[in-house]
Amino acid sequence: MRTVRLSLATVAAAALPLLLAAGQAHAQLQDGEWASYRDAYRAMVVFEKYGGPKHFLQSQLQVLPRGAAVLGDGLQLTLAGKTTQLHLPLDPLGRTPLPLQKAAYDDNAALVLNRKGIPFALRPQVSIAIRADGVYDSADLRSACAQALGFARYVDASQRSRQCVGTRFVFGKKGEGGAHWRPEGGSEDVLPAAPGVAEQGLPTVIYRFGSERGQVLTDSVPLAILPVFE
């Protein structure tokens, strides 16, 4: 396996320092210490209404700290409206599922962080669904990447020139993440870490598609599995 050097533009803004996400064309909702739930709803519902294949995918709302701000541990996104009060815990990548609620939409509830002084923006983040057993067939990963690219092309025609070349696995804590490649009829091999591609200091492992069939086995549950387009 070869280590892959990524130089990927995101769908909406090439300068964003976080995850490549299929479907970022609707991502920049607001830049401040609060965001409109109505805007977030409209961005997230694009994936829900998408009629193409997506059974290998999941969509979450991602908080992007602005400037020198950092998210830190224990951060939550609060949905606050006249009739709605929900606390949405963020994972280490700043992501959370966004409940689609008509009452909160009608109220145009606010989305705020539980800590002051952190300016942020929001974007949808589409990734590949996690398997509880940690076993990912190469054919399924190819299909998942193709589904993500199909959605990316749906929201942004400029993505039509890109192709799926692999997936990257992002793990929770340094030293805890890792994955192996087990080819059909062959012995396991450690997949390489991706130098210079770590997500917020988190370890990242690359699986690049090849002609050989087999399985990717993760040593621990990844935070995210992301498609790689070139």
More confident call, 173 vs 165: 165
Task: Report the 10 Å Cβ neighbour count for 36.
Answer: 16
Q: Among 2-16, 44-58, 171-185, where is mean pLDDT lowest?
A: 2-16
What percent of the chain has pLDDT above 70? Answer: 82
Give the domain ranges of the chain: 24-127, 131-229
Burial letters 157-188, b for 16+ CB under 10 A, else e:
eebeebebbbbbbbbbeeeebbbbbeeeeeee
pLDDT per residue as tens digits for the range 120-159:
889 999 999 999 999 999 999 999 999 999 999 999 999 9
Distances (CA, A) of 17 to 14, 46, 64, 198: 8, 23, 9, 10
In the structure, what pLDDT confidence band is assigned to residue 1 with cuts at 50, 70 and 90? very low
